[in-house]
Structure 1
Amino acid sequence: MKLFAAILLSLLVSACATQPEATSPPPSAAVGKTVDAGAPLVQQAAVLIAAKRPAQALPLADQAIAYYESTYRKSAPLVYSARWPVESMLYALEGHKANTNSRVYGIEWGLAYFLRGFALVDLHRLPEARAAFDDAIKLSPRNSKYLSERAEVDIAERNWRPALEGFQKALESADLSPPELKTAETTRALRGMAFAQIELGNLDTAQALHERALQLDPGNEKSLNELRYIQSRKARLPGPGRPI
């Protein structure tokens, strides 16, 4: 998980080069670009986390969060943070359907909460990490990456059914992931679901999930290793011709 997340963080850092821009569903007018004092803090925090320096990253993420909360929170009844136009349009439509004014900002606000959560996981402060991921998901409810990392907290706390539900949401949301991340985020959710199913004793279901992941990412070592583990578990189960 950590290696994959560090690689993805490098992709997210590149996305931070753009200023957050607020948009609204019709007929509201879009808010123009603003000076974003939080983006450099988010970028620095991401670099520090990738370098396994969570204690140094945490205060930077907190500073970015404070900036975005004070700058954007009161801009509309509904506020969101999106990483690409398709996701942004979906969030804008949520406000339109609810007949409520909404604003959709760039990736940085939600990412600041995500980085806070990631740092707290590395610092073994899981309850705080859970809250940070929840805040990121409130801003970016269809971000598959955020949903998977939130489910990882449930895995760490051995809450298998909530973890399964979280990874299921991540899988569904992967349909909206940017094209360059869709396969990685889809297979990540499938592997997470499979892990929870193994712990719940559903080996056949877990096997099928890993097989789905391999259809999208052939040769993935994590899924191949898990399939070997599942087969070893099945071989030890009581059955015809098997010792109990």
Structure 2
Amino acid sequence: MSPSRDSLVDALKMKGGTGDHSYATNSHYQRSVFYEIQPLVIENVREMLLKNGFPGCIKVADLGCSTGQNTVLAMSAIAYTIMESYQQMSKNPPEIDCYLNDLPENDFNTTFKLFHSFQEKLKPEVKGKWFVSGVPGSFYSRLFPRKSLHFVHSAFSIHWLSRIPDGLESNTKSIHIKYPYPSNVYKSYLNQFKIDFSLFLKMRSEEVVHNGHMVLTFVGRKVSDTLSKDCFQVWSLLSDCLLDLASEVHTQ
């Protein structure tokens, strides 16, 4: 029997803090990807503002924000784009509510400290209109009031499933779809992703305003062949490391 969604929500988190082994220190790749998609984020923010008539308060959310400076980078880019767009239209700057979401065990405190240090460097007219808060919980559930969000950003989060799929008994000693694998293992992961992603979109459709926008960045594969070894190299390495670690602990 697979662990329930609630049990995973209470257990999962990235390594907090800013030490050598923290997520904040070891997420340079994710940051580099954001720099690549930043023009797309800016384009969608501007389009959202035009469609919504430049409201007096903008609510944005970073879902699966984790901990560290990556979410600061994303939210600050969005906030600056909003402020710049209002200035170009000769409109008074809006208030901006930035919501940071991740599972309850996430190290929000480290991120809040980084945001505070960043906000202290802002101009007074910007600093006084930018508000940041945390929203703990799974993004596979409702997180915000109906039709309240104008813009949703999420990077490197949605590929994480809400639960371990059923039917993985034949996929022993593996944390992923390992090559080679039985066909039922692939179908189990695929079905769970379909369920989760559909639920994610349903929840956001209830929370995002009409003409709101989302930019979602998540892991995929470049080839159509599900048996390609290229799809599994990183996860296979991680799986082998965990098995070696478990073996050492058992031996001791």
Q: TM-score, normalised by structure 1?
A: 0.30
Q: Relative contact order (C-alpha < 8 Å, sep 6+): which is higher?
A: 2
Give the number of the structure whose residues are more often strand, by fraction. 2
